[in-house]
Chain A
């Protein structure tokens, strides 16, 4: 079977069914021998990069699962910086730049621009989008 290069875009929060579907798709893609060029988090999807989500112990913690997945496979998880700033998802550099009291972006994530989405699409066979307004 021919393998494919995927870019994934996630537009919904880690509490959404779309986030769970996207993660399961990403797991299945890698398990099937396919490549994930980049996972781009936009709109409410940026909350997946927050290290400050606290999920009750008997509920799935999608933000943590995303972080573990991205770290374990050395994937390129990119969070749109403009969307993240609007929603209070900041790394150390942005927290300092805007004089905010804390950074909450978990390690393994990069804040960057929308150009990263377009660049990944150009390097992929398929863009698969999850969630949205």
Chain B
């Protein structure tokens, strides 16, 4: 059976290459049809915000790449509810359908995967 991978994205979309390169790992794995999920944690939840204006800081829009996750078969997308609350992000301000997890559910999620990459 294929080994499963959880990628935890902790960087804001304006943090440089980190957010994009983390996402690229998942998109590459999706092409191999591997069991993968993505968790947006800490500043990583800013990647989910709708109505971003990356051009204002001469950045490409990451949200198009995030939308591609489901096309690549990566359907398990999660965000830490606590991280959203700490940053004043409401669930209806998110541009991607994710499941919000409380702290206990985060622990269960981590236990469920063979491998975890945090970036």
Measured CB to CB, the residues of A under 8 A from B are 9, 11, 42-43, 82-83, 86, 113-115, 117-119, 121-122, 124, 126-127, 129, 132-133
Give per-residue flags for B1-37: 1 if the beta carbon is below 8 A from chain A beta carbons, else 0: 0110100001100011110010011001101101000
CB-based contact A129/B117 at 8 Å: yes
Q: Please, which residues of chain B bring their CB within 8 A of the CB of A117?
A: 25, 28
CB of A94, distance to nearest CB on chain B (Å): 18
Measured CB to CB, the residues of B under 8 A from A are 2-3, 5, 10-11, 15-18, 21, 24-25, 28-29, 31-32, 34, 115, 117-119
Give bound CA distance, A118 to B27, whole Å. Answer: 11
Given A129-B118, A132-B119, do A118 and B18 touch, yes or no (CB 8 Å)?
no
Q: Please, which residues of chain B bring their CB within 8 A of the CB of A86?
A: 17
Give bound CA distance, A11 to B119, whole Å. Answer: 9
CB-based contact A133/B28 at 8 Å: no
Given A9-B117, A122-B34, A127-B117, do A133 and B18 touch, yes or no (CB 8 Å)?
yes
CB of B112, distance to nearest CB on chain A (Å): 16
Q: Known pairs A115-B28, A118-B5. 20 more at Cβ < 8 A?
A: A42-B21, A43-B119, A83-B17, A86-B17, A114-B25, A114-B29, A117-B25, A118-B29, A118-B34, A121-B3, A121-B115, A122-B2, A122-B3, A127-B5, A127-B117, A129-B117, A132-B118, A133-B11, A133-B18, A133-B119
Q: Please, which residues of chain A bring their CB within 8 A of the CB of B34?
A: 118, 122
Across the A-B interface, the 3 shortest Cβ-Cβ residue pairs: A114-B28, A133-B18, A127-B115
In the complex, what residue of chain B is closest to A132 when comparing beta carbons? Answer: B119
Q: Please, which residues of chain B bring their CB within 8 A of the CB of A132?
A: 18, 118-119
Q: Please, which residues of chain B bring their CB within 8 A of the CB of A127?
A: 5, 115, 117
In the complex, what residue of chain A is closest to B34 when comparing beta carbons? Answer: A118
CB of A119, distance to nearest CB on chain B (Å): 8
Given A82-B24, A115-B28, do A43 and B18 touch, yes or no (CB 8 Å)?
yes
In the complex, what residue of chain A is closest to B31 when comparing beta carbons? Answer: A115
Q: Please, which residues of chain B bring their CB within 8 A of the CB of A119?
A: 32
Most buried by A among B16, B31, B115: B115
In the complex, what residue of chain B is closest to A113 when comparing beta carbons? Answer: B28
In the complex, what residue of chain B is closest to A87 when comparing beta carbons? Answer: B17
In the complex, what residue of chain A is closest to B30 when comparing beta carbons? Answer: A118
